[in-house]
Amino acid sequence: MAYKALYRTYRPQTFEEVAGQQHIVKTLKNALATGKIAHAYLFAGPRGTGKTTMAKLFAKALNCEHGIGCQCNECKNCVAITEGNHPDVLELDAASNNGVDEIRELIDKVKYGTILGKYKVYIIDEVHMLSTGAFNALLKTLEEPPAHVIFILATTEPHKILPTILSRCQRYDFNKVSEEDIKERLKSVLLNENVEYNEEAIDLVVKLADGGMRDALSILEKVLAYSGNRLVVEDILNIFALESKEEKIKLINSIIHHDMSDVLSRLNNYISKGTDIKRLTEDLLLLLKDVLIYDSSYNEEYLESLSKEEAISLSKDLSVDQAIKMIDILMNTVKDYKNVTAINPIFEITLIKLTSLGNESKRVVQEETKVVEKPIRNPVKEETPIKKEEPAPVVKPVVETPKIEEKIEESEPLFESNVKVVDKVIYLTEAEKEDRFEIDDNLMVKIMAVSKKEIKAELLDGWKNIKKYSTNPVIGKTATLLIDGRPLVASNKIIVLEYQLAKQVEKVNAKEIQAEIQTVIEQVFNRKMFVYAVSRNKSIDLQSLYMNLLQIGRLPKPKDVTLEFVGE
Q: Do the Cβ atoms of 555 and 451 come closer than 8 Å?
A: no
Half-sphere exposure of 274 (CA within 13 A, CB side): 5
Task: Say if residue 143 is in the same domain as residue 114.
Answer: yes
State the pLDDT at residue 47.
87
Q: 239, 263, 278: which is the final residue of a domain?
A: 239
Q: Which of these, 59, 62, 50, lies nearest to 11 by C-alpha position?
A: 50
Task: Say if residue 210 is in the same domain as residue 292.
Answer: no
- 86-89: long-range pairs with CB below 8 Å, 24+: 86/59, 86/116, 86/117, 87/115, 87/116, 88/63, 88/114, 88/115, 88/116, 88/117, 88/119, 88/120, 88/121, 89/56, 89/59, 89/63, 89/117, 89/120, 89/121, 89/123
Query: Distance (Å, rounded) from C-alpha 337 to C-alpha 196?
Result: 38
| Residue 313, domain member (yes or no) | yes
**Distance of alpha carbon 115 from the chain centroid:** 53
Task: Say if residue 448 is in the same domain as residue 544.
Answer: yes
- For residue 345, the 8-state DSSP code is H
pLDDT in tens, 57-93: 999 999 998 888 899 988 999 999 988 889 999 888 8
Q: Is the pLDDT of residue 200 over 90?
A: no
Task: Say if residue 96 is in the same domain as residue 222.
Answer: no
| Residue 550, domain member (yes or no) | yes
Q: Is the pLDDT of residue 116 over 50?
A: yes
| Residue 281, domain member (yes or no) | yes
E-assigned strands of 283-438? 403-408, 420-422, 425-427
**What percent of the chain has a predicted confidence (pLDDT) above 70?**
85
Q: What is the CATH number of the domain that holds 184?
A: 1.10.8.60
Q: Is residue 407 very low, low, confident or very high in pLDDT (cuts 50, 70, 90)?
A: very low
Task: Say if residue 316 is in the same domain as residue 196.
Answer: no
State the pLDDT at residue 79.
92
State the pLDDT at residue 59.
93
| Residue 445, domain member (yes or no) | yes
Q: Which residues of 521-533 are buried (b: 16+ CB within 10 A; e: fewer)?
A: beebbeeebbbbb
- 452-456: long-range pairs with CB below 8 Å, 24+: 452/490, 452/491, 452/492, 453/295, 453/315, 453/316, 455/490, 455/491, 455/492, 456/298, 456/487, 456/489, 456/490
Mean pLDDT, the chain, integer: 81
State the pLDDT at residue 392.
40
Query: Distance (Å, rounded) from C-alpha 491 to C-alpha 529?
Result: 9
| Residue 371, domain member (yes or no) | no
| Residue 528, domain member (yes or no) | yes
Query: Distance (Å, rounded) from C-alpha 517 to C-alpha 479?
Result: 7
Q: 290, 321, 356: which is the final residue of a domain?
A: 356
Q: Do the Cβ atoms of 145 and 39 come closer than 8 Å?
A: yes
**Distance of alpha carbon 394 from the chain centroid:** 45
**What percent of the chain has a predicted confidence (pLDDT) above 90?**
17
Q: Do the Cβ atoms of 414 and 554 come closer than 8 Å?
A: yes
Q: 221, 239, 257: which is the final residue of a domain?
A: 239
Domain count for the chain, please give it: 4
Q: Is the pLDDT of residue 411 over 60?
A: no
State the pLDDT at residue 425.
38
| Residue 68, domain member (yes or no) | yes
pLDDT in tens, 311-339: 888 888 888 888 889 999 999 999 989 88
| Residue 217, domain member (yes or no) | yes
Task: Say if residue 227 is in the same domain as residue 164.
Answer: no
Q: What is the CATH number of the domain that holds 335?
A: 1.20.272.10
User: In which element (H, E) is residue 293 found?
Assistant: helix 277-297
Q: What is the CATH number of the domain that holds 523?
A: 3.30.300.180
Task: Say if residue 208 is in the same domain as residue 280.
Answer: no
Mean pLDDT of the region 379-402: 44
Domain limits for position 309: 245-356
Q: Do the Cβ atoms of 41 and 31 come closer than 8 Å?
A: no
